[in-house]
Structure formats: structure tokens, C-alpha cells
Structure 1
């Protein structure tokens, strides 16, 4: 959500920011609705003042014995209550609703240092880490390695349909080990507070983080009106919805290992083979709630926390700065970490870390009180990132640690979580 006061004072700059994202200018429409709403609210306040004044005057007229004036005032108050005030309240409600709906559908304004671009081809590579393994055989994709190790796509599809997978044996254990390793690292080394949040949330939660109303088709909706979370970002960020946090308690850093659910409505035909894009998957999510002046530094820190997992696992990757046309709806700046998959011969996204600024906080009414005590409350800044997506990390381990005989070595960092097991061998 956007600050209407900023749009009033800088409409051209607001439209210019939207233009960088390929969006049409809307400031004129916003300001027209805002002007109309404020005019109606002024009339409403004047009518309420007149009602109060007339009600008081009735008693004064009665005290003077002026029944004619008292009756006239009573009729005026009755008309104000029955007709004028309800009409003005309804006008304010309708115009305000139209304004709120318009604002809710507008993406965040990109930060100044975000490169302009129409899509992923114009993202900027900032750095690379790790040496790509030199195989003495032709590396295979995980979808070819996995089935003999317990990554069963057929049973998953039989049970639940496309984009579901059944894991068993050592593969299920490796998947669990990855999630536990990531969670332990983020909590013990990086200072995130472990949480176990709800997987089902209400409308206002997914509105607060920006999935509603624009991206409802990407979510799973239950028959009782709840939503399955697409990421723990929704539950974790909404922990401060409607709250005022004392500045001394900032930053708040939270993490959770949860199931995530996405309909992939916009991904028809993409990654239909393998474990890359699933309807149900696990992810370790990172969320930070900070004061505005700290959000840029926190963004760098969060990204480094995600990078540390890849480095500990020995997985080569590159860090990308997303261009304006490839960023998510709520982000003002995003770094993607893309892991190297030798079987595919390509880098694939494994983590996305975004600084959202006050965009979500305004939708959630999440504020903090500065320590000085003489300032008004201000909106917090929120950040979110993957630390990491468990399934995609499993894919990266399979492809980078594969052997010619179909076995897969277990990365050293995961062996304590695997009971000392050093290798997965074909069933």
C-alpha cells in the first residue's frame, strides 16, 4: 500500500516509479478519488457539527418556551440523522472503497539502484561463488537420478496429481536433514527466532503481505474461507499486524520451516518434469522487522545468511540483482540466489531476498515507536527471504554430488543429520 500524502505531494515521481515497472500512470485517478473523498468527509463533518449544534439548540428553545423553533430544530436534526448523514457516510464509504481497491492493486515503487528492465534477461549478476565440478562423466538431471534413490514422481502423481512427489527412505531423510540443517544454522548462527506459525490464514493476513487481491489464483482456498500459505512470510510478517513495537525490540528476526502451497496458476508448462516446481513444498523462511533506516543493511545481512547455507553445502551459485520487470509485486529491491545445476547446465533460483520497505506495513498497520519518545509512531520496514527452499536445495545436492553409478554423496555438513550416512545408493 502506498502513502497517499506522498502521492499528493509528488504525483509525477510516483508515476515515474510505476513506469519503471511497466505500469500505467495512476496518480491523477488516485488524487481525484482522494479529493472527492476528502470533500465528502468535510461535508460529513459539517453535517455532524450542525446536528450537534441543532440538538443543543432544541433544549435552549424549549427553555425559552419557543416551541415553534424547537419543532423546526427537531425536524432538522431528524432529517440530518435520517437522510443527510447516511447519504454522506455511504458516499464516503463507496469512494473510500474505490480508492483503497485502486491502491491495493498497485505494486511497490522500485529503489533507485534497481536496474530497469522488462524481464529476467535484464537482471544483473553481482557475484559468483564456488567452483563448478568437473565431471568425468555426463552429469544427469535430478529427475533421472532421483527415482532410483526414492524420489517417486509416479506415486506422488497417482495420489495427488501433477506437481506432487512421494519421497521415501534415504531421500526422505536427506530432505528432512536439509530442512533441519538450514533451520539450525539460521537460529544458532544468524540470530533468527524459530517459530511454528499457522499454515492456514485469513483474508487480512494474505492481504497484508500483498498476495490478495491481485494473486488469489496463485493460492489454495479452503471451503471455510481460509488460505493455505504460499510461504511462511505470510504468517511471520503478520505477527506484527496491527501492533506498535517499541524501537528497543527492533530488529525482529524470525524464521520457520514450513510446508508451503502454491497453485502455480501462472506456471502452466513450466518445470513440469522433476522436483523444481511443486504444489506442496518445504522452505525455511526468513523475515525481519526493522526501523526504516536499517532496512538496506538488513537486506544485505539477510542475503548473506541465505548465501551461508549454500556455501556450507558447497553448492556453486551466483547472486543476481533483479530488474524492475522481474521483481515481485511487493518488493522495492530483490536479490536472487541461483544455484548451479550441472544436469541442466544452468543456474536456477533457490532463494529470493526482498526489501519491501513500508509497503506491507501500511497494509497491515504495523508500526514502531521511536525510542526518543517525542516522535509519532512510524511504519516499520519488512524484509523476507528464503533460507533456503528445501526441495530445490535437494535438487542441487543430487545434481552436484552425483556419481556415475547413480549414487549421490551426502555433503559433509549434512552427515550429522543423516546418522553418519555418507552416500545414497540406488534401491
Structure 2
């Protein structure tokens, strides 16, 4: 959530940056500024009346102690008017604050100055490409056919049990899934992240804190009776560990990682590009989250991007890094890098990770602060990244490593899988 004081003091810049993000309701900025002015005026009125009432109460007490009862009663006769005015102003202030909050939460985060303009994924900026695209043997298969051939994943069984987008991993497919999770967690711990195991459902306050609510209700599974949401990513519960927390400056950076299943409704997703593992309603992911000093957050973002790239390099997957344009960015992000691997059988790039800096957008909602060198509380910066999401990693590993003999497991995973080939 943007800070009202920043919007008030930087109106033109806010409008300019929101335009980069293709925000369609710039009038909300004027609404927020107007409501903030009304809130401050009402607060001043309330403070003035309360000050008069308090001064009168002291005066009444002084007069009563000095035996001037008649004078005290005269002043006391006016206190009812002040009480009524205080009540009325308090109600007005509460109503204005609710309206201001309702408008404020509709404003997305401002994009960083390096974010390119653009509306669609095609306008994202390619930062770099790494690795060579493999040449597959004649008759190479896409991963969904490989999964059936080697009895690794049963998509139809998932449909029977739950519905489309809920695959059943079997045999070496299940072992590969587990091996990747353990590999990603081990690599995160080597990089200084502490593992946490978190709930798979969160309350509304947690969804609000990280910016999923009120932006993404339609994409989240909701348990109505208990008013809980199935998590779309471990980012939500892991970051909410620090909701309403004041950290010591020397505790920064805080680095957590965690593996969870993730649940996304993916409403409206259909077609060839969502076939197989390309888009699921339930999938596993290892997430990395950092809470850092604002001065360091963009250096940290580059470091998190490098960590994800290191995983792809160790898996031997060709990949590219994209800086997302304003129109393709998430609601809460100030800058996002997407990592995509090359699917040799499908002949297209598949997104496998997003790494984002949210600056103070989440921490303002979470009331996540730290004490700076002067001992004053200050909003921290939060960042998160997929390290990595499994479905498309599995897809590209199967497709890119297929041979006439079978599917070769990357050397780095063999200690985890305990097998070198899927055959």
C-alpha cells in the first residue's frame, strides 16, 4: 500500500509512474489526496474541540476547589455542546478514514524507474539469455506424452479425483518432484536462507498484508465457512510471519525459504499453452523471501535473481531473464524479473520464476518496521522469488533431456533421485 504522505507530496510523480503501469483509475489519486485533506481538517477540528473541553474540565475542577461553584456550573453547562461536537467529529473522522483506506488499497505499487513501458508480455525487456537450446532427436515428444510413455504423471486420474489441473505424480515422476524440492531447499540454505514450514491456508489479514487482497480474490480458492484462503504462493504466509513486527536494525536482512503446494484457480485459462504441466491449479514451489534495509533492496533483488539463475545453470537448462514492462507487472511489485526456460519440444519459453522487489508496499500493509540507526522506526523493504516453481521445470527437464535411450537426469539431481535415467 502506498503511503498517503508520499502521494500528497509527489502527486505528479505518482500519476506518471501509475501511467507506466497502465493504471486505469488515475482519479483515485485525486480522491486520496482530497480525502486525506478532509481527514486532516477533521482531525484538527476534533483536536481543537477536545482541547477546549479538556481545558474547561481543568478550569471547572480548579473553580470547585476554590469554592466558586456558581462559576463552575456556568462553564459546566457548555460541556454538553462540546461532548456532542466531539462525538460528531469522531464519527466523521472514522467515516473519512474508512473511505480513504478503501480508495488507497486500490492503488497498485509504483513501478521502479527502470521498468519499461508496455502493455503486454511481448513488450517485456530481455535482460539476458544463457545456455544453448538443445537439438532433440527425431520423434521427440512434449512432456505430457513423455509422462504417459514412462508412467510419470497421470493427468486423467487427477481429473477423476479432483478436476483438470490437479495431476497425480507417479513412480519416478513423484521421486523427481521430491528430488527437486529437496535440491532447491538445500541450495537456498547454502545461500543463507532459513527454512520454515508454514500453513497452506491464510486469513484475510494475511492476504491483505502481501497484496493478494483485494486484488486477486478471483484467483484464490476460498473456504467460505471458515473464511480462509488456500495460498497462491508461500510468499503470503512466509512474509506474514513479520506482520505487526518491529525488527532490530541489526537483524536485517531476514532470509527465509519454504516449500509449499500452491493453489490457483487460473480462471479463464485454456488452450494448447496450458496443456500438461504448463498451467495447473495445484503445484509445488520453493519460495525465497527477504526483509531488508531500504538502502540495499535493489542489490538484494539482483542477488536473488542470480540465485535463481544459478539453479537453472546447475540443472543445465537454457534460460532467459526478462524485466517486466509496466502493464505486465503484478499489483504489489515495484520491479519484477521473470526467468523462463526453453521448452525444446514445445519450441517456446516457459516462465519458471518471478523475483520481485515490493519496496514498502507490503510492509506498509503489514506494519513491518525496523529500528534504524537513530532508533526511529522505519518501514522495511520486502522481496520474494520462486526458487523454483516445479511444473515447468519438470516439463523442460523431461523434454530437453530426452534421448533414444530414455530421459537423462541432470547430474546435480542424481544424489536426490538415486537414479540417472528414466527409461
Could you tell me the TM-score, scaled by structure 1's length? 0.94
1:44-103 CA distances to partner (integer Å, 9 max, x unpaired)?
Answer: 11121122122222223434555454344334333433x322221111111111111111
Matched, 1:137 2:138: yes
Matched, 1:2 2:2: yes
- Three-state SS of the structure 2 residue aligned to 1:274 is coil
1:227-272 CA distances to partner (integer Å, 9 max, x unpaired)?
Answer: 2111111111112221121121211111001111112135355744
Q: How does 1:120-199 map to 2 (within 5 A)?
A: 120-148=121-149, 149-188=151-190, 190-199=191-200
In 2, distance between residues paired with 1:337 and 1:170?
A: 26
1:19-48 CA distances to partner (integer Å, 9 max, x unpaired)?
Answer: 111123233221110110101111111121
2:136/2:400 contact within 8 Å kept: no
1:218/1:266 contact within 8 Å kept: no
- Three-state SS of the structure 2 residue aligned to 1:334 is strand
Q: How does 1:277-426 map to 2 (within 5 A)?
A: 277-370=279-372, 372=373, 374-404=374-404, 407-419=406-418, 421-425=419-423
- Three-state SS of the structure 1 residue aligned to 2:358 is strand
1:337/1:350 contact within 8 Å kept: yes
In 1, distance between residues paired with 2:289 and 2:66?
A: 67
- How far does residue 358 in structure 1 lie from its aligned partner after superposition? 1.0
1:88-131 CA distances to partner (integer Å, 9 max, x unpaired)?
Answer: 11111111111111111111111111111111111111111111
1:163/1:272 contact within 8 Å kept: no
2:136/2:344 contact within 8 Å kept: no
Name the stretch that deviates more: 21-30 or 358-367: 21-30
Name the stretch that deviates more: 374-383 or 292-301: 374-383
Name the stretch that deviates more: 381-390 or 271-280: 271-280
1:406-427 CA distances to partner (integer Å, 9 max, x unpaired)?
Answer: x3221111111112x11122xx
1:140/1:342 contact within 8 Å kept: no
- Three-state SS of the structure 2 residue aligned to 1:325 is helix
In 2, distance between residues paired with 1:64 and 1:292?
A: 58
- Three-state SS of the structure 1 residue aligned to 2:50 is helix
Could you tell me the TM-score, scaled by structure 2's length? 0.95
Structure 1 unmatched ranges of 5 or more: none
In 2, distance between residues paired with 1:155 and 1:77?
A: 74
In the other structure, the counterpart of 1:15 is: 15
In the other structure, the counterpart of 1:206 is: 207
In 2, distance between residues paired with 1:169 and 1:42?
A: 69
- Three-state SS of the structure 1 residue aligned to 2:241 is helix
In the other structure, the counterpart of 1:252 is: 254
In 1, distance between residues paired with 2:71 and 2:202?
A: 57
1:142-166 CA distances to partner (integer Å, 9 max, x unpaired)?
Answer: 1111123220011100110111111
1:307-360 CA distances to partner (integer Å, 9 max, x unpaired)?
Answer: 111111101111111111111111111111000001110001000001111111
1:374-426 CA distances to partner (integer Å, 9 max, x unpaired)?
Answer: 25221111111000001221111111112346x3221111111112x11122x
